[in-house]
Amino acid sequence: MDPVFKLIEEEKERQRKGLELIPSENYVSKEVLSAMGSVLTNKYSEGYPSFKGLEKSEKEISEEILPNYRYYGGQRNVDRIERLAISRAMRLFHADHANVQPHSGANANEAVYFAWCEPGDKILAMNLAHGGHLTHGSPVTRSAKIYNFIAYGVTKEGDIDYEQLEKLALEEKPKIILVGYSAFMKIPDFDRVAKIGEKVGALLMADMAHVAGLIAGGVHPNPLDYGFHVMTTTTHKTLRGPRGGLILSKGNVASPLRKPEKTLENIPILIDRAVFPGTQGGPLEHVIAAKAVAFGEALKPEFREYAEKIVENAKALAEGLLKHGFILQGGGTENHLVLVDVKQSFQVDGKLYERALDLVGLTLNANALPNDKGAAFKPSGVRLGTPAITTRGMGVVEMKKIADWMFEIVKMCQGVESEKDLDKTKVEKIRKEVEETALEFPLPTD
């Protein structure tokens, strides 16, 4: 047998026996997995299906065959699948249009920049070190070489520095104001940012990669309800779909074949052209089918309960950690994510703590804190979240257990140089406890 399949089996075991605390990961359903592993991967479908009649019933959309904007033949099934994905995404996020083709969150962001900006144009986004994302202007990215990124940050209390954001917007007149983060635990004031954006005529863009599932589940505000023009997201984090990207927008929808005037109203068409042929080739229709299935799941009432539970669990986890003396960025959480200052709390390095937790099957990532002296190479904190363990059905009781294990481990790490120096018997004891708890909660694909 090809060793690849043996390694997939080993990965399944790792996922079963450990607790996934990385806030950007999740476990998909059997149905999502099955759509992703389908023969749709054999099909080339460059271009788009028709955008007409997407408000119709699912039955009609799944039956109707319409003229399309594709480059190859044989699209009758793929078109209907992609139309179902688009229609469900629009309903889920109150959008006028959805582009379901971005291969990832990074591609989605690049396409929006490409749709709206010329080289050298200014984009105002959160500093990476304060919780932003690499694709929001980190100098190592292609976007940062093309566009001129200006960064705002967070306050001492861990909230967006809205005053700084407004001042920079008025001074710099950016083409895009970008809200949305990877290590941020508060709910952004979209209304306030939208008012700032209107003053300077900027495109209002929200990158909701982390919290899209919370928005879909109604426990986080939707930026498109507050005057934002564009929302990008990944589909594999809280949204619990396949690995991929998605762009939602407000405005006119029309044929992507004709180049439209560059106005805010035409943003949906500009985005379609920026995704294909602007930045990508053929879409991954097997992944688009899995996105459609995931959006269908997210439209169900059960998903609302799931989203509520994610936040409830995150708050319980934060509370458990606070009780043990951990210092949390922002003092706690309003979403699915907690950022712990391990250095300040226990004089333990973030990377050492990450590796020590990995030994017992608690998977999370070391993360820099705002104004971290250790920066990206020696971060002072760790970032963790509840989307994946909530999918497994865990609740407040398990959150307390996790906080207790984390406290035991952090004490063991004090004064230690490497995770290799930890007491092996104690590590093994905790690893067994973690595994026992994990095995009580099967994965959706088990």
Ligand X SMILES: *Cc1c(COP(=O)(O)O)cnc(C)c1O
Query: Under rule CB under 6 A, which residues in 8-27 are in contact with ligand X?
Result: 24
Residues 340-359 that bind ligand X (CB under 6 A): none
For ligand X, how many residues bind (rule: CB under 6 A)?
15
For residue 104, state whether it binds ligand X (rule: CB under 6 A): yes
In a 13 Å sphere around the CA of 89, the CA atoms on its Cβ side amount to 31
Q: Report whether 340 contacts 327 (CB < 8 A).
A: yes
Q: Interface with ligand X by CB under 6 A: which range of 57-65, 203-211, 339-347, 354-362?
A: 203-211
Cα gap 331→185, rounded to integer Å: 9
Query: In this chain, which of 29, 50, 99, 234 binds ligand X, going by CB under 6 A?
Result: 234
Segment interacting with ligand X, rule: CB under 6 A, options 3-11, 176-184, 247-255, 367-375? 176-184
User: Measuring CA to CA, how many Å separate 312 from each of 102, 318, 319, 334, 365?
Assistant: 31, 10, 11, 9, 21
Q: Which region among 206-214, 299-307, 404-412, 415-423 touches ligand X (by CB under 6 A)?
A: 206-214
CA distance 431 to 68: 54
Q: Which own/partner contact pairs does 9-16 have at CB distance under 8 Å and 24+ positions apart?
A: 15/443, 16/438, 16/439, 16/442, 16/443, 16/446
- Least distance to ligand X, CB of residue 182, Å: 4
Q: Is 243 a catalytic residue?
A: yes
Q: Is 207 a catalytic residue?
A: yes
214 binds ligand X (CB under 6 A): no
Which one of 79, 166, 207, 297 is in contact with ligand X (CB under 6 A)? 207
Instruction: Bin 363: left if φ > 0, else alpha if -120 < ψ < 50, else beta.
Output: beta
Q: Is residue 297 close enough to count as binding ligand X by CB under 6 A? A: no
> CA 222 to CA 208: how far, in whole Å?
9
Q: Which H or E run includes 304?
A: helix 301-323
Choosing from 135, 141, 232, 234, the catalytic residue is 234
Task: Verify binding: residue 138, ligand X, rule CB under 6 A.
Answer: no
Nearest residue to ligand X, by Cβ distance, number only: 105
Residue 334 binding ligand X, by CB under 6 A: no
Find the shortest distance in angstroms from Cβ 386 to ligand X.
16
Distances, alpha carbon 144 to alpha carbons 59, 65, 150, in Å: 44, 42, 10
Residue 165 Cβ, how far from ligand X at the closest point, in Å?
17
Instruction: Establish whether 189 is a catalytic residue.
Output: no
List contacts with ligand X (CB under 6 A): 24, 104-106, 109, 133, 135, 180-182, 207, 209-210, 234, 245
